[in-house]
Amino acid sequence: MLGTTLTRDVILPNILAAACLCGLAAAEDPKVEPGGPLDATASRGVTARDPSMIVREGDTFWCFYTGRGVASLHSKDLVTWERGPRVLENPPEWISNDVPKNDGVYWAPDILKVGEQYLLYYSVSSFGAMHSAIGLATTPTLDPENPAFKWTDHGPVVQSRDGGDFNAIDPAIFQDEDGKLWMSFGSQWSGLKLIELDPKTGKRLKPDEPMTPLAAGQSIEAAYIYKRKGFYYLFLNRGNCCAGNKSTYHIKVGRSEDIKGPYIAKDDSLMIDGGGTMVLDMKIGPFTGPGHAGIIEKDGKSWFSCHFEADERMGGKATLGVMPITWSDDGWPQVAPPEGK
């Protein structure tokens, strides 16, 4: 167990029991009008926790998030979002054997189009334990009206077990210019890891190869790697999640010239030693607890996505955030969401 540290692994059951996790229909969400232009407000007015990076197919944006069977949202403009279909209507057979305590709610998915397939990775776990797995599902299209639309599950990609030193949840996918495919992941214990994947299968390229440690320190999870101008940027969460407006979740970043690190903060501290440069602090106006970073381009601008553990305007529920991101002259990300009203 994690001692006195409150994390998603420990207190998420209470949130599920309170029905304020993300598996709620959009029609049931408290209404928060986005208010016009995309950069007019940070909150999108829809309940979502642990969002994937946002991907675009045609004229539609898609985001996947924690929920039963992996829940989805779609939007034409990144402002107005509607609920989409679940990825997995029925639990894959392997889960009952490999993670028998899982209850059908899959956490913190991530998605990327690789070749002609969308690869979606999702976390399968039970609360307060490191007996976990990251599964893979694929589809040739995200459009449920397309005849080719069909999610196919491919089983576990990486697993962790009680007695080990890492937790196989919170996958984040990155493909480099050379075509190499990588997954960063991890939560608590010894921190975040990096493994290389086979772009043809989506599974580990070399299963026996040691994992690369990326970052460590207390209360750490939710990795996301982004590349810009020769630097790899590692965004991650520190603090405690899943406590509503009492959450201490916040997002930090470091960068490296090598995807394997070392990742270094602006003050030269090492992320493997607990360092990091603040991106979004734990409290921003009516928003508390930003988590699970992502970046997408639209109309020549970059947008930063995450959830907020609590939005006061939505009755304290977790909400999807989409905000402008800019870069300082010395190459550090700047996300400054308006305070909202």
DSSP string, 43-99: EEEEE-SSPPPPEEETTEEEEEESEET-EEEEESSSSSEEE---S-SS--HHHHHHS
Q: What pLDDT does 338 receive?
A: 56
Q: Is the pLDDT of residue 7 over 50?
A: no
* pTM score of the predicted model: 0.90
Report the 10 Å Cβ neighbour count for 323.
20
pLDDT band at 242 (very low <50, low <70, confident <90, very high): confident
pLDDT band at 310 (very low <50, low <70, confident <90, very high): very high
Residue 80, token pair as written in the block: 């107005």
Q: Which residues contact 140 (CB under 8 A, 6 or more apart)?
A: 116, 117, 118, 148, 149, 150
Catalytic residue among 9, 29, 50, 98: 50
Omega of the bond prior to 262 within 30 degrees of 0, cis? Answer: yes
What are the structural domains of the chain? 8-335 (2.115.10.20)
Q: Is the pLDDT of residue 325 over 60?
A: yes
Q: What pLDDT does 42 receive?
A: 74
What phi-psi label fits residue 70: left (phi over 0), alpha (psi between -120 and 50 degrees) or beta?
left
Q: Catalytic residue at 221? A: yes
Q: Which amino acid is at 15?
A: I
Q: Is the pLDDT of residue 69 over 50?
A: yes
Percent with pLDDT over 70 in the chain = 87
User: Taking a C-beta distance cutoff of 8 angstroms, is the pair 337, 284 a contact?
Assistant: yes
Choose among 111, 136, 141, 130: nearest CA to 191.
130
Q: What pLDDT does 39 receive?
A: 61
pLDDT digits 0-9 by tens, 85-122:
999 999 999 999 999 999 999 999 999 999 999 999 99
Q: What pLDDT does 73 receive?
A: 97
The stretch 2-10 carries a mean pLDDT of 38
The stretch 55-79 carries a mean pLDDT of 97
Q: What pLDDT does 243 receive?
A: 86
pLDDT digits 0-9 by tens, 144-191:
999 999 999 999 999 999 988 999 999 999 999 999 999 999 998 999
Q: Is the pLDDT of residue 125 over 80?
A: yes
Catalytic residue among 29, 98, 221, 309: 221
- 3 state DSSP class of 42: coil
Q: Which residues contact 55 (CB under 8 A, 6 or more apart)?
A: 61, 62, 63, 111, 112, 113, 118, 142, 296
pLDDT mean across residues, the chain: 88
pLDDT digits 0-9 by tens, 29-45:
444 555 456 665 677 78
Q: Catalytic residue at 309? A: no
Q: Is the pLDDT of residue 9 over 60?
A: no
Q: Is the pLDDT of residue 22 over 70?
A: no
Q: What pLDDT does 313 receive?
A: 87
Q: What pLDDT does 337 receive?
A: 65
Residue 203, token pair as written in the block: 């599974």
